[in-house]
Amino acid sequence: MYPASFEYYAPASVEEAIALLERYGDEAKLLAGGQSLIPLMKLRFASPRALVDLNRIEGLDAIGEDDGHLAIGALVRHKDCERSEALRGRYGVLGDAAPQISDPIVRNLGTVAGSLAHADPQGDWGSALLAAGAHVEAVGPGGTRTIELDELFHGPFTTSLEPTEVVTSVRVPDPGPRAGGTYLKLERKVGDFATVGVAVHVSLDNGTVRRAGIALTAVGPRNLRARTAEEALAGATLDDDTIREAAELAAEAAQPRSDQRGSADYKRNVVRVFTERGLRKAAETAQAA
């Protein structure tokens, strides 16, 4: 399979990339890792007139602490996250998600920011980063804007990004020292999309929950936040009853559909079980910190 013909640009700066996006509008696509875009182009689901390759832009490939946030640059690959010490402990929801994405070879190229911009409802990063309360920084002709992930995802493969904007960084607020989380994914085999994924991220304050983030993969038209479950946890102690109640609420928040990967009932049940397991692990990490 071959992509349709396109013009190719490899700008050396974000400003140049934006100038190209201004020239081509929604006829341009940005290329980062290409592990979703190139298959789409081969299948002719995407046939951009111009491809703007971000890989020659320097300074977008770092993971680091920045102003109370963990900042993940637009060219950070899944593999970088899998290996990063910074994504363990209180950022465990991210460190646990990374090695479960696709397969080890795809992870060498695919990027975190690209995954968010692609907005596949079966994408793992969307849930892990929603749970962690992340936002993206998008740069366009008018400057930089912050987009909360909840506002970024509109529906399947659609986001609130303008055609002239480039996501330059994904930023996760520091949850404080007593925090933990994990990502649980059910997949039929390595490299498959999630049947169900659940991301859990909890921060504690004097033994009670300061903030809880729970987000669900592949059980809705986009990565979903289980808000009622998050609210039930806020201010609570993470005991068995609270955890079980939150897991029930998360299962209710899911919007699964029956398909070849499982029935809707089955998927909803997996959400419940994974939320419960995830909260127990998150509590363990947060309390041990």
Q: 3-state DSSP call for residue 94? A: helix
Of 18, 21, 30, 31, the residue at the interface with other proteins (CB under 8 A) is: 31
40 binds other proteins (CB under 8 A): no
Q: Kindly tell me which of 11 and 278 has the beta carbon lying closer to other proteins.
A: 11
27 binds other proteins (CB under 8 A): no
19 binds other proteins (CB under 8 A): yes
Smallest CA-to-CA distance from 163 within 27, 48, 16, 11 is with 27
Of 71, 109, 236, 289, the residue at the interface with other proteins (CB under 8 A) is: 109
Of 11, 95, 121, 213, the residue at the interface with other proteins (CB under 8 A) is: 11
Q: 3-state DSSP call for residue 142? A: coil
CB of 23 to other proteins, least distance (A): 8
2 binds other proteins (CB under 8 A): yes
Of 61, 71, 89, 108, the residue at the interface with other proteins (CB under 8 A) is: 108
User: What span, in angstroms and rounded, lies between the C-alpha atoms of 124 and 220?
Assistant: 13
Of 27, 61, 71, 106, the residue at the interface with other proteins (CB under 8 A) is: 106
User: What span, in angstroms and rounded, lies between the C-alpha atoms of 80 and 125?
Assistant: 14
User: What span, in angstroms and rounded, lies between the C-alpha atoms of 182 and 202?
Assistant: 9
186 binds other proteins (CB under 8 A): no
95 binds other proteins (CB under 8 A): no
Determine contact, residues 115/36, Cβ cutoff 8 Å.
Answer: yes
Determine contact, residues 156/123, Cβ cutoff 8 Å.
Answer: no
Q: Of all residues in the chain, what percent are helix, strand and coil, respectively (each to 5)? A: 40, 30, 35
Smallest CA-to-CA distance from 161 within 217, 118, 128, 218 is with 118
Of 27, 55, 266, 273, the residue at the interface with other proteins (CB under 8 A) is: 55
Of 27, 53, 245, 248, the residue at the interface with other proteins (CB under 8 A) is: 53
User: What span, in angstroms and rounded, lies between the C-alpha atoms of 203 and 282?
Assistant: 9
The DSSP code for 150 is H
Q: Which residues bind other proteins (CB under 8 A)?
A: 1-12, 16, 19-20, 31, 34-35, 38-39, 41-42, 51, 53, 55, 102-106, 108-109, 190-191
